[in-house]
Structure 1
């Protein structure tokens, strides 16, 4: 066979803004390949000419030696017969096509090379707070459109100086076509301001910031994808002031620590957690506090975990190096509670001026707001709870071909998802869609991602809940609309991450989801594939006295669960002291509502069951943020944990009493009201709240294991996916991962995609997209 004289190679994936073209150039030079490389909207295109053996080696090395931040989704090549008169190898200017099939890289934490240069007094960029290269720095947050080139970013207003320009155009340099490339002579700058926005002249804005933080001032700092509100992490007083001004009385606050040694002083950290903290994404990682924890005790009150991150921008590193700067700083989202994070200087001064004492600003525009990601290590596996900075907009590659589709998400922890062919682009965390500001952010983000990836949805997919703003948005698009049941979407998201077509048993435990029977679901076991599902089992339905008010006041759920267990008001002699403290008149109102069935909708919600248990054990009777009672209940249970707690679960498996496993309408019902009845009895007999909290977890895990084992036998389906907001409870998740596999059951959960409502837009996109391909608009709900 005649040796090929040339190849045309198309490489798709995250291959722009990560040093891919200089990598190709240097590889071609090493292998003596002639040709060209360019960025296009389709991906990176290479024309390569050489004897056949060298071309084959070149193609193999493109994948084997690709830059660490790149992610090759596909590499296609075909022979080109026309002769080449090109001598050497050239990087051509980018080309724009009709369709954007390449991926923009996420914003990447400062690399070690740039950090070393920034700290080197002899370096051109010594102490420059916006240093970056092709291996780190802003990407998604500054991109306007693709191909990803400087004129299409917010860096276009900063003409490069001679030094930067030379490096930018040198294929052998680490800053070759690093679009945010700049230095102190030509790039963005920091400035220090009062809370009215007035510039305060200073030789070093970072020094002034450090002084203010040490003096217990509240700072609003413009960062990579938006503003942070920042205070001294050691000061109880300033943390409390921040909470009061922001209207955030209890919700945990994230802390940035100067380095890993500081983290180890305050928190336990495993090798997996260390790797996650130091990854290129550098998310906030939930870590367990040490007994020697000496930071402010109101950072994460009543819970044993703290959200921790390391410095990820150059000016974060420089700030911690300022004399007197505390080595642990609160870095919470720069917003008024419930609103999106601020990005623009003027907007932040207007909105945050009543919270912050001073502002640290910069003059590089943020095109796309993006919050910090939140992650955890559970059962030695990474889990992403909030997928944003460092991860978005990296595509999710799936084995099923989709039309151009938008999945519109839910109501809480909202995201949306754009799908096309074998790629799905899950948006950054938007937040709760319950106010106009969040909805505007939602619309702004949809428009931006559709523009960047040139996707024009031909169908829309939304939740079955008719009142979500995301559902209203979908219905107004004037394109075919598919509605996917909430918990089915949860299951499909996990299936997609692991490439499973089904059928699977989906164990979905969360707070709320609209059921086709017009009740509120939330504790479900489904038999599911990608386009249909059947409800096989669920937690016993409890009534929600006052509807949504029951989610904000756990004492209502405590009374309701006991009412269900005793077929009427709990006898006075058995009423837990925690509920006896609720005024009698309030209790009478709830009991009257339950007697008459007035404003007490039915729900199988696992979240409300956790609330009931927390109320009975006196953990929490009112909440100020979503999931507070359940989070504090888990922390309480952890205080009674032993090294053999996994084995204790086995004592609660295989012994379910008839009252715990019942049949309801052909479906298995876990009679969970009995859990709280047993909790009340345990408290009456002197069981400590800590032991009772752990017992509750054991009862729930044991019953779920028994049901899944039974269903696996009866259906022959032995793959199980775990999802829903309640699965963020690490005791519940670890317990199921421990107890199910010995019964020949494969268990999967989300690791790179959120298992809470932040992931359901992906499940919607796949289910609705595949239903459209088959022209089947029926959700496939059975029973």
Structure 2
């Protein structure tokens, strides 16, 4: 259950961003996600992405959201022929999508969060062929109803396949673990078989004993493949951000420390493993990190090892599927240090990297990805409909 926020919605009167598409698409309204929300309307060969609305966590934000959709439809002068939304049923954007579709008798298409991240990149770059996507963020509901966030995807227009993911880690307390990185560090210690260290490492956390019991008994500890939570675990183990005052604070501190190190570090030798079921496992890196005291050096090695593991993962997938494009989407790619190291490694292998340019890599691009994927669905449907 998401908590209500007292922050006002982020509103702006700046014009929509127009993304030119490589084909004429059915008129599609995409409703975005929950955090950093935008909406998108496709008209002909142009996708119009609204200004950033912010998080849909208050009545005022939701009212601004519905007003923006009304304004966008009127400004563009196109009535939607289909509606797209995130898989998560509790998002206001999802509920609005179903309401609007019912009111106007329109088809509604659910789009998986990370597929949308990769779809946004394909739309922005006009890439209609299949790509390998690396989607890294805090959380997005997966098709198996678990929280995803470190995904390797084969993405081809309307369809995708989850061909790999990060080694899952428990989230003791669910969403609360995203606000308190020490909990993710505790989960990492439990994963390493060192649960007895939790209370000793976090004596200032009154819930340390409770979290230890939760992990041992698997109580309210959903499993996640999230890269964002892996960053939190690392920050918690280095004791640089046991509790976050704002979103991504721990990850930003890690990036800053790595940048302060002064020079690029080599990745940790054997710091990652790729299991036969294509799970990318950074357990060796986390084990090493848990014993480090030089936080700058540790943060630099952490970034270098992540980049090396992700690059190997993507290269193997590209060769297996005989593809040349790698799309990098999700909020973790705000991290310029990780992004640049990964891009350098991939381009050295002769791969073409798709990164966010006109839009940001985070959830503000989700609506564009939803619209792109839904438009492909509708094109396929219309083509088959004409056959009979």
**TM-score normalised by length of structure 1:** 0.46
2:370 matches 1:764: yes
Q: Distance in 2 between matches of 1:675 and 1:414?
A: 34
Shift in Å, 1:681:
2.2
SS of the residue 2:275 aligns to: strand
Counterpart in 2 of 1:735? 341
SS of the residue 2:326 aligns to: strand
| Mapping for residues 347-746 of structure 1, pairs under 5 Å | 369-370=11-12, 389=14, 392-477=15-100, 478=102, 479-566=106-193, 569=195, 571-572=196-197, 579-583=201-205, 586-642=207-263, 645=264, 648-649=265-266, 651-652=267-268, 656=270, 660-663=273-276, 667-683=277-293, 688-746=294-352
Deviation >4 Å, runs of 4+: none
Once the two structures are superposed, residues 712-747 of structure 1 have per-residue CA deviations (whole angstroms, 9 ceiling, x without a partner) of 222211210111000100111000111111111111
Structure 1 unaligned segments of length 5 or more: list them: 1-335, 342-368, 372-388, 777-783
CA contact 1:637–1:690 (8 Å) conserved in 2: yes
SS of the residue 2:338 aligns to: helix
Once the two structures are superposed, residues 537-556 of structure 1 have per-residue CA deviations (whole angstroms, 9 ceiling, x without a partner) of 11111111111101111111
Q: Distance in 1 between matches of 2:336 and 2:55?
A: 23
Once the two structures are superposed, residues 638-674 of structure 1 have per-residue CA deviations (whole angstroms, 9 ceiling, x without a partner) of 11031xx2xx45x55xx646x72213xxx31112233
Shift in Å, 1:591:
1.5
Q: Distance in 2 between matches of 1:546 and 1:616?
A: 18
For the pair shown, the structure with the greater C-alpha radius of gyration is 1
| Mapping for residues 74-473 of structure 1, pairs under 5 Å | 338-340=7-9, 369-370=11-12, 389=14, 392-473=15-96
Q: Distance in 1 between matches of 2:314 and 2:362?
A: 21
Q: Distance in 2 between matches of 1:507 and 1:753?
A: 17
Counterpart in 2 of 1:227? none
CA contact 2:83–2:97 (8 Å) conserved in 1: yes
Shift in Å, 1:756:
0.4
Q: Distance in 2 between matches of 1:734 and 1:697?
A: 11
Q: Distance in 1 between matches of 2:223 and 2:133?
A: 22
Cα RMSD, aligned residues only: 1.9
Q: Distance in 1 between matches of 2:340 and 2:126?
A: 22
Q: Distance in 1 between matches of 2:18 and 2:208?
A: 51
Aligned residues: 374
Shift in Å, 1:337:
5.3
> Relative to 1, partners in 2 of residues 1:678 and 1:718: Cα closer, same or farther, differing over 3 Å?
same
Once the two structures are superposed, residues 575-617 of structure 1 have per-residue CA deviations (whole angstroms, 9 ceiling, x without a partner) of 697x33334x522211211122111111000111101111111
CA contact 2:166–2:227 (8 Å) conserved in 1: yes
SS of the residue 1:623 aligns to: coil
Q: Distance in 2 between matches of 1:337 and 1:747?
A: 39
Once the two structures are superposed, residues 100-145 of structure 1 have per-residue CA deviations (whole angstroms, 9 ceiling, x without a partner) of xxxxxxxxxxxxxxxxxxxxxxxxxxxxxxxxxxxxxxxxxxxxxx
Higher helix share: 2
Q: Distance in 1 between matches of 2:285 and 2:207?
A: 24
Q: Distance in 2 between matches of 1:338 and 1:768?
A: 32
Shift in Å, 1:492:
0.9
Q: Distance in 2 between matches of 1:503 and 1:524?
A: 16
CA contact 2:199–2:208 (8 Å) conserved in 1: no
CA contact 1:544–1:557 (8 Å) conserved in 2: yes
SS of the residue 1:482 aligns to: strand
Counterpart in 2 of 1:773? 379
Q: Distance in 2 between matches of 1:678 and 1:704?
A: 18
CA contact 1:544–1:560 (8 Å) conserved in 2: yes
Once the two structures are superposed, residues 482-527 of structure 1 have per-residue CA deviations (whole angstroms, 9 ceiling, x without a partner) of 0011001100111111111121110111000100111110001111
Once the two structures are superposed, residues 239-274 of structure 1 have per-residue CA deviations (whole angstroms, 9 ceiling, x without a partner) of xxxxxxxxxxxxxxxxxxxxxxxxxxxxxxxxxxxx
**TM-score normalised by length of structure 2:** 0.92
Q: Distance in 1 between matches of 2:285 and 2:175?
A: 23
CA contact 1:576–1:680 (8 Å) conserved in 2: no
Q: Distance in 2 between matches of 1:751 and 1:603?
A: 28
